[in-house]
């Protein structure tokens, strides 16, 4: 069956006919794609007269708070009762930019699973694992936002209903999930969609400034610290890693989202194919993995750290100290001398 098969679209249309209330959920620590895809759907379905609730599990990074519709969103961490009620009462539930309910965090997992709403998954992560009525899932796309655009295109006869606000939301996810169109960006279709978004009157330059030139002082300081003192280079396995301890974060006034994208710096060094970025949370170490080319970090995260994600971008948690998490990583890397031999990447 094709991704947006007519039968699936018709099922959604039929469910919408009898629906009044729609809820939209996404993953914990929502990024540009999660926020963009949620709010694009919010904008469209509110304008169609539905009562729509967008639920973010925890606060969204400040450089994403300007996105149209954000002021109406429910932050579950601050208003769990309201979030649960919205899930319970929803006739239709959109689950976007995540492949399983637990990605929404401990408090949200059960309410999502138990919701009796008609569930629609729109996502680009591997191995979707959610009991839902209709699923639009593929890894062959830039972002969930791109899938939301294609979904709306199939749903709507009158393209004018894709407003500038909807287009802005979609553009945010398409650029943030591709590092401003620097990876996962070799499909002509992507640029066709961006062309359509531009026709809606969105301001690509302004959006870029709002996301990338809108950083807090804490972020710039943390980046400086990270690059100058927390970068380790393992040339023999074409790998780098960086880390920030809880003390590093506290000392520099860390705010949610401040370290977003730091991991990519580890990969920008010449000859490096793989990088990891460790950040210390209250009770765990979060590890982000990035790779270039064929090195599969989804597999790596799964095999060694019980995590997962995409081929070139994945993440995991390690319930141990920073020191032990790094030790484990260095040990694991010893078995990658052949696969990540620098001679292969000259």
| Residues at the site binding Mn ion, with contacts judged by CB under 5 A | 33, 97, 144, 177
Contact criterion met (CB below 8 Å) for 31 and 260: yes
Contact criterion met (CB below 8 Å) for 25 and 93: yes
Distance, CA of 1 to CA of 122 (rounded, Å): 16
**Between 177 and 280, CB nearer to Mn ion:** 177
Taking the complex as a whole, the smallest distance from the CB of residue 102 to Mn ion amounts, in Å, to 17
Contact criterion met (CB below 8 Å) for 200 and 163: yes
- Phi/psi at 202 (5° precision): -70, 155
**Between 237 and 301, CB nearer to Mn ion:** 301
Contact criterion met (CB below 8 Å) for 175 and 25: no
**Between 69 and 226, CB nearer to Mn ion:** 69
**Between 24 and 272, CB nearer to Mn ion:** 24
Torsion sign (Cα): 35, 33, 215, 108: positive
**Between 36 and 266, CB nearer to Mn ion:** 36
Taking the complex as a whole, the smallest distance from the CB of residue 309 to Mn ion amounts, in Å, to 10
**Between 98 and 242, CB nearer to Mn ion:** 98
H-helix or E-strand containing 304? helix 297-305
Q: Which residue is nearest to Mn ion (CB)?
A: 33
Taking the complex as a whole, the smallest distance from the CB of residue 138 to Mn ion amounts, in Å, to 12
Residues in the chain, total: 346
From the list 196, 197, 151, 155, the residue with the least C-alpha distance to 172 is: 197
Taking the complex as a whole, the smallest distance from the CB of residue 32 to Mn ion amounts, in Å, to 8
The tokens 């694991």 sit on which residue? 332
Distance, CA of 332 to CA of 32 (rounded, Å): 32
Taking the complex as a whole, the smallest distance from the CB of residue 123 to Mn ion amounts, in Å, to 8
Taking the complex as a whole, the smallest distance from the CB of residue 35 to Mn ion amounts, in Å, to 10
């Amino acid at each position: 069956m094709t991704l947006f098969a007519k039968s699936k679209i018709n099922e959604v249309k039929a469910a919408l006919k009898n629906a009044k209330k729609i809820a939209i959920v996404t993953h914990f620590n929502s990024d540009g794609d999660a926020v963009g895809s949620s709010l694009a759907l919010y904008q469209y379905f509110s304008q169609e007269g539905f009562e729509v609730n967008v639920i973010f599990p925890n606060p969204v990074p400040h450089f994403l708070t300007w996105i149209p519709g954000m002021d109406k969103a429910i932050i579950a961490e601050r208003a769990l009762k309201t979030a649960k009620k919205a899930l319970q009462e929803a006739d239709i539930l959109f689950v976007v930019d995540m492949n399983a309910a637990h990605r929404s965090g401990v408090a949200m997992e059960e309410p999502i699973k138990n919701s009796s709403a008609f569930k629609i998954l729109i996502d680009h992560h591997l191995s979707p694992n959610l009991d839902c009525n209709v699923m639009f899932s593929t890894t062959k796309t830039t972002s969930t936002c791109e899938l939301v655009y294609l979904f709306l295109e199939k749903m709507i006869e009158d393209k004018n209903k894709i407003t500038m606000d909807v287009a802005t939301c979609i553009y945010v996810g398409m650029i943030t999930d591709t590092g401003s169109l620097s990876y996962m960006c070799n499909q002509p279709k992507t640029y066709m969609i961006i062309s359509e978004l531009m026709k809606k009157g969105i301001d690509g330059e302004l959006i870029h400034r709002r996301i990338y030139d809108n950083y807090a002082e804490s972020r710039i300081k943390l980046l400086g610290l990270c690059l100058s003192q927390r970068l380790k280079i393992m040339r023999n396995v074409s790998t780098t890693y960086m880390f920030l301890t809880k003390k590093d974060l506290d000392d520099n006034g860390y705010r949610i989202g401040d370290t977003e994208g730091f991991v990519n710096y580890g990969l920008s060094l010449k000859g490096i194919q793989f990088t990891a970025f460790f950040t210390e949370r209250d009770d765990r170490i979060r590890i982000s993995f990035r790779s270039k080319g064929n090195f599969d970090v989804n597999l790596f995260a799964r095999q060694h750290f019980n995590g997962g994600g995409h081929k070139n971008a994945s993440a995991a948690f390690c319930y141990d100290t920073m020191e032990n998490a790094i030790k484990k990583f260095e040990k694991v890397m010893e078995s990658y001398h052949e696969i990540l031999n620098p001679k292969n990447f000259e």
